[in-house]
Amino acid sequence: PQTIYLKDYTPFGWTAEEVHLTFVLAPTATRVRSRIRFAPNSDAPKQDFFLHGEQLTPISFAIDGAPVTPEVTDTGLTCAVPEGVFTWEAEVEIAPVENFALEGLYMSNGMYCTQCEAEGFRKITFYPDRPDVMSVFTVRIEGDERVKLSNGNPQGSGEGWAEWHDPWPKPAYLFALVAGDLVNHPGSFTTLSGREVELNLWVRPGDECKCAFGMEALKKSMKWDEEVYGREYDLDIFNIVAVDDFNMGAMENKGLNIFNSSAVLASPETATDANFERIEAIIAHEYFHNWTGNRITCRDWFQLCLKEGLTVFRDAQFTSDMRGEEVKRISDVIDLRGRQFPEDQGPLSHPVRPESFQEINNFYTATVYEKGAEVIGMLKTLVGDEAYAKALDLYFERHDGDAATIEDWLKVFEDATGRDLTQFKRWYSQAGTPHVAVSEAFSDGTYTLTLRQHTPPTPGQPEKAPQVIPVAVGLLSPNGDEVAPTTVLELTEAEQSFTFDGLSAKPVPSILRGFSAPVVLERESSKEERAFLLAHDTDSFNRWEANRDLARECLVAMITEGAAPDTAWLDGLEAVIRDSALDPAYRALMLGTPTQSELAQVLHQRGVTPDPDAIWTATEVLKKTRAERWSKLLPQLAEEAKVTEPYQPDAEQSGKRALGGAVLALTSRLDGGDAARTQFESADNMTLQLSALACLVQAGAGEDALAKFRAQWNGDRLVMDKWFALQVAASGPSETADRAKALTEDPDFDWKNPNRFRAVMGGLAMNHAGFHRIDGAGYRLLADWLIRLDEKNPQTTARMCSAFQTWKRYDETRRGMMQAELEKIAAKPGLSRDVTEMVTRLLS
């Protein structure tokens, strides 16, 4: 496969003035006619006229009405064209019903739908399929009697046809079309300037009862973006469509967002609190893209973080405002460490703005999204809230209608603040997680913190230069008072010292408050000091972090030295979770422990080869110990966590249920699942039902409940995804692979549906000890299924290859088996470009 480089960027030789598309829909033979006015682009070097196009059957081509014969290859066409402005016409045929890759125009349950980001439009018609070619689209849809939607505003319809016009110039990746048997959950929104916008949530008949929450989330998002960013919606209508077969979570097509049904449909009976929160965030995310992504798009795909990092940052701000800042921040850091750190520390490591790729779909990663959002957060911390707001106003003003770059983005901040961001820009170009080591000194009332930064080598980047790292620090006196409030230290050198004067005693530092930078903090500190911070830190994030550190050290000692659980820590933690002044959601997070793969990562960093079985055993012993130690406390907490009001998926109730769920998991260690069974039987919402079911399966007492659950939810695809996922995720390590295998033989294992495939195979990959079973059954099962799925859906297959990204850290036996599986995948004839690139990087 060909490698594409950022440094080779050249503009397209023409602009597309306007685009007219006509679709005559038919499952096996859809006709697509395009009429495009091209004009020479004076900013571009001279070049051949090339249009992308893949898997298209050409029917006819014409320029200014006269037939032409372009040269067509697997990837597109070239054609001789006139000097000036001309009208290009083409007719092609495609077969949506045979499209299992779910890129371009495809069918899901009889419904036509599209996914064009990043490069799906070239599977619909011949086109300059690149984000810097923006045009005004008019779309006519024929050949289907059902609901027909496209971008923009409707401009007419009749028997068997509908026309849509989008006045906003857009790149082809934001094109969308939907046609199907859909019902509408309507709503409306009045914008800041008083315009009435029609809102519609389109779903399959039967799903109407799962729409109300998503509609409210949309309205909240629209209002929030007006209030916080001054951004108003810009069309008369906003449509969202739910589709069952979808590779991603959702897609921000202009005026016609398409959602994986799991990311929009919810009712109390069928969706968990976590589902509701995720739905609210994704609806916000896609809506926010209307400005950060659509109105201002990316010049090329290397700039993906320009829209994704910023939009993730915006949706995180939104969730903080809706649900509470401290809990959101902690959850995001858990997620970052769970998904982005392993990526950054392994063979798939790449900068937030990559400089080369073979298949862009492989770069929709935690690094581009989540680390990309962290970079925005650091920028905001460094310049301050006011300057951030000013810079964003300037960004919207200066770049509205542009296909922009990271350089444009940073220039806006430089112009708005007068700050030089040359060094800061390294966050976009250097891969890897920086480590920050801390040492300290105290004399004559002056406390000195010395910070040293170092980023380990990553593929293609052996040497790293120092980055700008905002380190938020506060100081506490030995009696727990804050003697220096949070200040942001700007670490810019490899090593730098910062002093605090006028202190009467050596303070206890609270470093990297709020997780002010995505780094690994290295600090020798005593258990006593951590326990002190757990009890006293005024920064809620670092208070949680102190607990996390203690949990990690306890588990590491159990794993490597066979130590007993640290009871001093458990007592300190008990004091926190007993404190009913603290938010239940926060206490639930305090009850969480590092994941097994996080522990494997820590051990590896300390030069110890992780043993998945030993890690599993230690976490089990710890859970059991906690349950026994807190046997009197648990019923009290369960009582506190009870919700008596009717179900609401809001932060307050969800927090209580999260605490209740954590308590139930511990209780099940003592009662063999009795309490869980009671909860399972009486639950009137999915959160309680599913957490109870997980406890039962975990306790090895779940067979009846699983059967009941299935009987109850057989007709509901989203709930059945949970049924598949949970069995694999909650099973003991010796049976995980067998369970997963048995489930792949279940008649309801519709493996071409990405949600169902991910439920089973994602569950397998995430069950650390189960996946790494020493006979290699987990590796084999996953690899065999990846090989099979690749023939249908390369994008989802390629994403799931990252299950192997940590393969090099394990013992020789496991490493050898994983390598063999990766080589087996690589050797498959006809392997997709997507998976070829992933496996090559993994093996390098």
- Minimum distance, C-beta of residue 251 to Zn ion, in the bound complex (Å): 8
Residue 540 tokens read as: 């809620």
Q: Which is nearer to Zn ion, 293 or 733 (CB)?
A: 293
Tokens of 811: 């013992």
User: CA torsion 315→389→433→358, rounded to 10°?
Assistant: 70
User: At its nearest, how many Å lie between ligand DPP and the CB of residue 286?
Assistant: 6
Assess contact for 667 and 591: CB atoms under 8 A. Answer: no
Which structure tokens are listed for 440?
């300290």
Restricting to residues 279-308, name those near Zn ion by CB under 5 A. 308
Q: CA nearest 749: which of 770, 729, 720, 777?
A: 720
Binding partner of residue 250 among Zn ion, ligand DPP, none, CB cut-off 5 to 8 Å per kind: ligand DPP
| Backbone torsion region of residue 388, taken as left when φ is above 0, otherwise alpha when ψ lies between -120 and 50, otherwise beta | alpha
List the one residue out of 831, 824, 758, 819 whose CA is nearest residue 790: 831
**DSSP helix/strand/coil, 38:** strand
Q: Is the peptide bond before 281 cis (omega within 30 degrees of 0)?
A: no
Calpha distance 250→406 (Å, rounded): 24
Q: Least separation, in Å, of the C-beta of 64 and ligand DPP? A: 36
User: Minimum distance between the CB of residue 190 and ligand DPP, rounded to whole angstroms?
Assistant: 26
Identify which of residues 262 and 836 has a Cβ nearer to Zn ion in the complex. 262
- CA atoms of 516 and 533, how far apart (whole Å): 17
CA distance 165 to 136: 8
- Contact (CB, 8 A) for 645 and 575: no
Least distance in angstroms from the C-beta of 292 to ligand DPP: 10
Answer for the pair 669, 629: CB distance below 8 angstroms, yes or no. Answer: no
Compute how many residues bind Zn ion; rule: CB under 5 A: 2
Q: In whole angstroms, how close is the CB of 294 to Zn ion at the nearest point? A: 11
* Alpha carbons 531 and 571: distance in angstroms, whole number: 10
Residue type, 256: L
Query: CB-based contacts of 208: which residues, under 8 Å, 6+ apart?
Result: 183, 185
Binding site for ligand DPP (CB under 6 A): 117, 248, 250-252, 285-286, 289, 308
Active-site entry in 89, 280, 286, 359: 286
We find the least distance from the C-beta atom of residue 250 to Zn ion, in angstroms, to be 8
Q: In angstroms, rounded to a whole number, what is the distance separating the alpha carbons of residues 212 and 753? A: 25
Query: Is there a contact between 349 and 431 (Cβ–Cβ < 8 Å)?
Result: yes
Of 253 and 270, the one with the shorter C-beta distance to Zn ion is: 253
Our CB check for Zn ion shows the closer of 207 and 308 to be: 308
Nearby residues of 75 by Cβ (< 8 Å), 6 or more positions away: 52, 53, 54
Nearer to ligand DPP among residue 376 and residue 519 (C-beta): 376
**Which residues are 492's β-sheet partners?**
none
Closest by alpha carbon to 675, among 695, 645, 700, 656? 695
The nearer residue to Zn ion, 243 or 675, going by C-beta atoms, is 243
Q: DSSP class of residue 424?
A: T
Instruction: Find the part of the chain contacting Zn ion (CB under 5 A) among 30-38, 309-317, 413-421, 811-819.
Output: 309-317
Work out the angle at residue 175's Cα, subtended by the Cα atoms of residues 128 and 100, and round it to the nearest 5 degrees.
90
Residue 477 dihedral angles phi and psi, to the nearest 5° = -80, 160
Q: What number of residues does the chain have?
A: 844
> Whose Cβ is closer to ligand DPP: residue 289's or residue 773's?
289
Q: How far is the CB of 713 from ligand DPP (least distance, A)?
A: 28
Distance (Å, whole) CA 657 – CA 686: 11
Tell me which residue of 441, 343, 399 sits closest to 842, measured CA to CA: 343
Q: In angstroms, what is the minimal distance from the CB of 89 to Zn ion?
A: 34
117 binds, among ligand DPP, Zn ion, none (CB under 5 to 8 A by kind): ligand DPP
- Minimum distance, C-beta of residue 305 to Zn ion, in the bound complex (Å): 10
Q: Estimate the crossing angle of helix 686-698 against helix 703-713, to 10 degrees.
A: 150
Cβ distance to Zn ion smaller for residue 270 or 311: 311
CA distance 764 to 14: 48
Outline where DSSP puts E strands in 674-765. Answer: none
Strands 520-522 and 435-443: parallel
Q: Are 491 and 468 in contact (CB under 8 A)?
A: yes
Nearest CB to ligand DPP, comparing residues 170 and 285: 285
Residue 375 or 760: which CB sits closer to ligand DPP? 375
Residue 101 or residue 599: which is nearer to ligand DPP going by CB?
101
**Nearest approach, Cβ of 118 to ligand DPP (angstroms)?**
8
- Catalytic residue status for 286: yes
**Cis preceding-peptide flag for 118 (omega within 30 of 0):** yes
Helix (H) or strand (E) holding 145: none
Residue with the shortest CB distance to ligand DPP: 251
Residues assigned a catalytic role:
286
Site for Zn ion, rule CB under 5 A: 308, 311
